Structure 1
């Protein structure tokens, strides 16, 4: 089920930095927070230089005064450990704590997250500041929990200091035991890379063609994840020892970190930082892009770890550093829309970033609820409305769970391996995006699910349909689990490049798709990467409508039927493999397994949704236009439907039965016009 935050009602919070403001402003700030129904404040995650202005001299008085004042206004506080921003005296005296690029050049002081997790000195100093901090605040009645560090693996998720190379070798010794086993796992006989002493082994370093051994590169990412978790454990173990009455989380979901393992081992629940407008700063060739609605995909990923979670930073204004990440101002209604987007997908504690926009520093344009002038504005009024609504609906919604019958399956090994491997990596995002987008537009809720070594059949059977687009790395154990899922009645869909690698990243010497060839009843007789002068073939669905000219994108595999019971659903219409199978279906037990020899595109996904008979769970009682997101949270037989209009135009909703609007308490029926960026929460 995952580890969830436990809230008796939906709650609002805000990030606040008392060290950045005159103390004379604090009381007015806390008073105004309570007027907005804000009950939680996050603070201190960047304050190491305040706590330890000189090595070994500690001063916790400033935040003690802030905590006392917050308590007086009934505010509860999440404290962040300050290890994401070591002070200047530390990095100056101990440069070995700094991170480095692949050339070994150190990243210098002046930003954040410029340290490495492996440095014994940095671990020692982190352990000391966290211990002193917890001892100082563990009994303060305002404190409810701890956020360790800040955004682990943000800014950079690769580490190449000397300490990292040393730690990598130790990790490899534990993993493989001997150099003989390491050489075998990495295939070092190729190009005479064989290692004869551990000191010869390094993380990625500069080399000709900039292409490392792919098996080393995969283990490097596994090491970074394990090392990050080891660093986090230093802090969580201390907090568990000294303040067992407080919960522990961190805000994240960044690269090269197994956030599921991190949460399982160390945290009470996962938290996330949601900035839907990030989607506006990167140009997209994606026709009919989800834009800010795409944050629902990332929130679904958080939900795969903690069904109910905290959004530790919710966008509340325009954003950007002085030199990058420029984001325009949210339009009237969008802050409320994005807040309910987070709630729909499982957030029970919503913490806005930040209370007031900074007047100095790198993030002086990363706006908060209040502007620099600190006078009333429309964003403050919008948050006040959300606070009033949470007071009405919060007790009903908290603790309910998002409902979905469809899952998109993923795993860390294939994600990390695909960063280097162009023969399957680019297909992953293409297919995940196409499936999630089309399910969204068809109002069919979906979960992201991460396949792990602990995944059991019961975890899979919650879903009627599972899409596992391109699992290049596949084991026989995973194939057996998936076979059991299909046999008991599940519908499972694979895409191209399935099952051709083992966990080391070696290609199998067996017919593709390797471990699931028997399950699918096919083999791959030929294939081609679609790139450059090699065009994709067009598709012809048999007995089903597909727009003329639809192409099989990314990769084309020519399928060969090994089982006479396998049904051809689509074939290639041109190229040298014209008439050959492109999409097959096989009945197994009570279920079906589908294999598609390409990356999934939006037209193909739409056709498959029809073939699978998938319909919105609201189809019998609601007609919703595509620009409105639909989803439900449920518990104990009661369900709440969320409708979120991401359009700048009104949206007409047609009701086939009478429902209660949870926010207003009124009954809705027939037709209701949603305002631009409007929200409806309905008791179903």
Structure 2
């Protein structure tokens, strides 16, 4: 049985690196952590050479003292296994553990994540150090749990060492058994790529057209990387389960080429995430209309919640962020750190640690600021953390273990994410449409989940939602289509976008009318299609229920043909040679309905669909909110009547809200009704 994230109280803490600071500072650091309201600290994830300074020579003195002292202050310790940074003696003596780039260049020691998962020697040495640590700390009363490695597949999520090529070949032999089946799945008859011996088969390698491998091979490569990453983590998880059975196991992630759901299901008690909302600010598309900026980070948190309904934020942004040469994020303004903390909590976090206690004075992260600055003197970020600590000590028990409530889900799957990294005819569309749906739902105060379609997804998981939005699932199996159809037949509303259903699970195109596996559900075929770029001018859609309303038909246009009498045309193209042709359709099927939107979604189009679907905020009857305030609800069971309503103001300016019923704010203890002004970056938790 999986252990909970938090059982008795909300766990608030901080990442701490005792090896970075004189031992004379530790007691004062721990004392101030407790005064701040912290209950937990993470350490050890980058300290392999301190535990094993030479091969086979182990020492634990520094961390024994650090952990014992933390325990004396009643701080729980999360131990990180130190396998994200192999020591210099290891990479010098066993260079085969190093990762290799696509071009064949060996990565060298000097940063982090410079190893590969496939090296038998690296697996052996990782198992040994984890075993030694688990034997030593597995029954320590001050150690509460373990983080495996650190940010699996961060920075590097492709691997091309000799060990990786060999492991990929073995994985393929298990998957396909014969070369004939491999050749069929990869379509190797095209361009004379047919393999006649297994020794000819490799991971993708440079070709005459740069970075243009066989697309079916590239999809299998990503599946293999995920499998291999999980196998690497399993070696450590199995050791920890055996030697530290009373301590929980997690890892922090949500990075590329990794099925985090399988990782969590198979190995972890719960999933952990590193939350840096300003990534949404520095990496957002400057051409985006009406961006959410840091509020958009909630979409990532929704994806984390799909992995683990309650989770740990192992690193929460607490200061300006950046390495010496990249990611120059500005300092959070007063109140923003608190806002981002409650953003994580509103989306399902039951444990949260700030990164980090004190900013590093050396190395690449000297500008990745923590709570305390180099000088270690009081500052406003520490003061803000103290306020949060007091609040969560007071109200944390009210929501730990409860789930975020939503009756609409944005649907994704790993096959389409991975295939779409290479296939520009559908890949970029998913991210745009996800963002536009999330943005619109946020501003309409309609909470949503993210749901990943997997081979073991059940109808019971789908029917929790009134509406499923599956924007551009180019790859769709007949089994997936059948499950989605069951959801619709029993009353669900399913929304597809362009480029749906035309590929099988190998990434090859069906010899069927588009939308392929989804055609029967949708009741339409795609008469013609086109990219909208270059010389092709943008088009518009005219909506049947609002003929005067035109919305953009972005990026790609499927021109639809109605095949069933049950199909209603909800919108037509307003211009170009296909003016008047169906662009949006709704097929009544069983007790439900299937929508097909023939373009890439934008905010105005989503608003039209939300109106037609009759979607409203779950708090609409008792609460009026401006668009800049987010609403999330956490409740112990299905439904919202006994839940807590989180309101977060992402504006620096005050926001006016109206409560039609009296509600108590747990943070202040104040009963609110009528008009109320939220502070800039303010938070309310209404009972």
* Alignment check: 8 A CA contact 2:322 2:368 kept: yes
Q: CA deviation at 1:547?
A: 4.0
Structure 1: stretches of 5+ with no match in the other structure: none
* Alignment check: 8 A CA contact 1:186 1:216 kept: yes
1:321 pairs with 320, 323, 334, which one?
323
Q: CA deviation at 1:489?
A: 0.8
User: What TM-score results when the alignment is normalised by the length of structure 1?
Assistant: 0.99
Corresponding residue number in structure 2 for 1:240:
241
Residue 345, structure 1, aligned to residue 367, structure 2: no
Corresponding residue number in structure 2 for 1:297:
299
1:647 pairs with 644, 651, 668, which one?
651
Corresponding residue number in structure 2 for 1:674:
678
- The one-character-per-residue Cα deviations of 1:634-655 (angstroms, maximum 9, x if unpaired) are 1155210000001011100111
Q: CA deviation at 1:400?
A: 1.1
Please give the alpha-carbon distance, in whole angstroms, between the structure 1 residues aligned to 2:548 and 2:313: 40
Corresponding residue number in structure 1 for 2:279:
278
Please give the alpha-carbon distance, in whole angstroms, between the structure 2 residues aligned to 1:604 and 1:393: 40
1:491 pairs with 478, 484, 493, which one?
493
Corresponding residue number in structure 2 for 1:611:
612
Q: CA deviation at 1:531?
A: 2.1
Residue 564, structure 1, aligned to residue 565, structure 2: yes
1:141-540 paired onto structure 2 within 5 Å: 141-210=141-210, 211-284=212-285, 285-540=287-542
Q: CA deviation at 1:349?
A: 0.3
- The one-character-per-residue Cα deviations of 1:71-107 (angstroms, maximum 9, x if unpaired) are 1000001000000000111111111100011111101
Q: CA deviation at 1:286?
A: 1.1
Taking a change above 3 Å as real, the CA distance of residues 130 and 342 of structure 1, as seen in their structure-2 partners, is same
Structure 2: stretches of 5+ with no match in the other structure: none
Q: CA deviation at 1:537?
A: 2.0
Q: CA deviation at 1:283?
A: 4.9
* Alignment check: 8 A CA contact 1:545 1:607 kept: no
What SS does the aligned partner of 1:59 have? coil
Point out the more displaced range, 528-537 or 304-313: 528-537
1:14-29 paired onto structure 2 within 5 Å: 14-29=14-29
* Alignment check: 8 A CA contact 2:542 2:549 kept: no
* Alignment check: 8 A CA contact 1:46 1:84 kept: yes
Please give the alpha-carbon distance, in whole angstroms, between the structure 2 residues aligned to 1:386 and 1:603: 37
* Alignment check: 8 A CA contact 2:2 2:269 kept: no
What SS does the aligned partner of 2:661 have? coil
What SS does the aligned partner of 1:123 have? helix
What SS does the aligned partner of 2:326 have? coil
* Alignment check: 8 A CA contact 1:3 1:263 kept: no
What SS does the aligned partner of 2:445 have? coil
Q: CA deviation at 1:658?
A: 0.7
Q: CA deviation at 1:476?
A: 1.1
- The one-character-per-residue Cα deviations of 1:434-490 (angstroms, maximum 9, x if unpaired) are 000000010000000000111111100000010010111111111111111111111
Please give the alpha-carbon distance, in whole angstroms, between the structure 2 residues aligned to 1:535 and 1:266: 50
- The one-character-per-residue Cα deviations of 1:167-198 (angstroms, maximum 9, x if unpaired) are 11011001100111100100001000001111
* Alignment check: 8 A CA contact 1:536 1:556 kept: no
Please give the alpha-carbon distance, in whole angstroms, between the structure 2 residues aligned to 1:8 and 1:283: 38
Corresponding residue number in structure 1 for 2:88:
88
* Alignment check: 8 A CA contact 2:321 2:367 kept: yes
Please give the alpha-carbon distance, in whole angstroms, between the structure 1 residues aligned to 2:525 and 2:2: 37
Taking a change above 3 Å as real, the CA distance of residues 39 and 617 of structure 1, as seen in their structure-2 partners, is same
What SS does the aligned partner of 2:485 have? helix
Q: CA deviation at 1:280?
A: 2.3
Please give the alpha-carbon distance, in whole angstroms, between the structure 2 residues aligned to 1:635 and 1:319: 35
Q: CA deviation at 1:2?
A: 9.7
What SS does the aligned partner of 2:530 have? strand
User: What TM-score results when the alignment is normalised by the length of structure 2?
Assistant: 0.98
- The one-character-per-residue Cα deviations of 1:531-567 (angstroms, maximum 9, x if unpaired) are 211223211111226644x221111011011102210
Please give the alpha-carbon distance, in whole angstroms, between the structure 2 residues aligned to 1:281 and 1:569: 37
Please give the alpha-carbon distance, in whole angstroms, between the structure 2 residues aligned to 1:126 and 1:456: 36
* Alignment check: 8 A CA contact 2:530 2:556 kept: yes
Please give the alpha-carbon distance, in whole angstroms, between the structure 1 residues aligned to 2:509 and 2:259: 24
Please give the alpha-carbon distance, in whole angstroms, between the structure 2 residues aligned to 1:127 and 1:311: 26
* Alignment check: 8 A CA contact 2:647 2:685 kept: yes
Please give the alpha-carbon distance, in whole angstroms, between the structure 1 residues aligned to 2:563 and 2:547: 26
* Alignment check: 8 A CA contact 1:321 1:362 kept: yes
Q: CA deviation at 1:281?
A: 1.9
Corresponding residue number in structure 2 for 1:589:
590
* Alignment check: 8 A CA contact 1:100 1:107 kept: yes
* Alignment check: 8 A CA contact 1:546 1:607 kept: no
- The one-character-per-residue Cα deviations of 1:177-230 (angstroms, maximum 9, x if unpaired) are 011110010000100000111111111111111210000000000000000000
Please give the alpha-carbon distance, in whole angstroms, between the structure 2 residues aligned to 1:280 and 1:508: 40
Q: CA deviation at 1:390?
A: 0.3
* Alignment check: 8 A CA contact 1:358 1:367 kept: yes
Please give the alpha-carbon distance, in whole angstroms, between the structure 1 residues aligned to 2:193 and 2:375: 62
Residue 129, structure 1, aligned to residue 132, structure 2: no
What SS does the aligned partner of 1:209 have? coil
